[in-house]
Amino acid sequence: MQTEHSAQGGASDRVVHRRLISADRVQGSTVYDQAGEKLGHIEDVMLDKASGRVAYAIMSYGGFLGAGERYHPLPWSMLSYDPGKNGYVVPLNKHQLADAPTLGRDQINEQDDTEWAEQVHTHYGLPGPFI
């Protein structure tokens, strides 16, 4: 977010929301469930090289100080940005994540193929990212 400046040079109370965001600013963003509880944060985003679209976001979840942390790929279409929370909201809760596909830290870059992305989208009942 950016504060708009008035003609006199001072900052106004109006906040300007940009439509586009760089991937490095998405990384680290908090992910909430619909009840407003923190689920985790965006660790990375996976892009389809051919189309340029974001296939899914990798959400870090669980663990303590990095130990036991798992990474949940979430179809990008599931995430809704909430400016009031300065983070993303997903229609999931902790119980629904228990059966969801996960990755270990060392698997994040190994699972970038079409089959894996289709499996993630199918799990959440969404069309694949490569349509």
- Between CA 73 and CA 34 the distance in angstroms is 18
Show the domain range for 84: 22-123
User: Which pLDDT band holds residue 17 (cuts at 50, 70, 90)?
Assistant: low
Tokens 């993303």 belong to: 88
> Does a structural domain hold residue 13?
no
The contacts found for 17-22 with CB under 8 angstroms, 24 or more apart, are 17/83
Query: Which residue would you say has higher pLDDT here, 102 or 3?
Result: 102
What CATH number is given to the structural domain containing 109?
2.30.30.240
- Percent of the chain whose predicted confidence (pLDDT) is above 90: 34
Q: Could you report the per-residue pLDDT of 37-51, keeping only the tens digit for each?
A: 999 999 999 888 888
DSSP bridge pairs for 75: 56
- Listing DSSP states for 5-67 in one string gives EPTTSSEEEEEEPPS---HHHHTT-EEE-TTS-EEEEEEEEEE-TTT--EEEEEEEES-BTTB
- Between CA 24 and CA 130 the distance in angstroms is 23
User: Which pLDDT band holds residue 7 (cuts at 50, 70, 90)?
Assistant: very low
> Does a structural domain hold residue 26?
yes
The number of distinct structural domains making up the chain is 1
pTM value is 0.76
> Does a structural domain hold residue 38?
yes
What's the confidence (pLDDT) of residue 1? 41
| pLDDT surpasses 80 at 60 | yes
Query: Which residue would you say has higher pLDDT here, 130 or 114?
Result: 114
> Does a structural domain hold residue 73?
yes
Query: Which residue would you say has higher pLDDT here, 89 or 108?
Result: 89
- Between CA 11 and CA 14 the distance in angstroms is 8
What's the confidence (pLDDT) of residue 68? 66
| pLDDT surpasses 70 at 72 | yes
> Does a structural domain hold residue 36?
yes
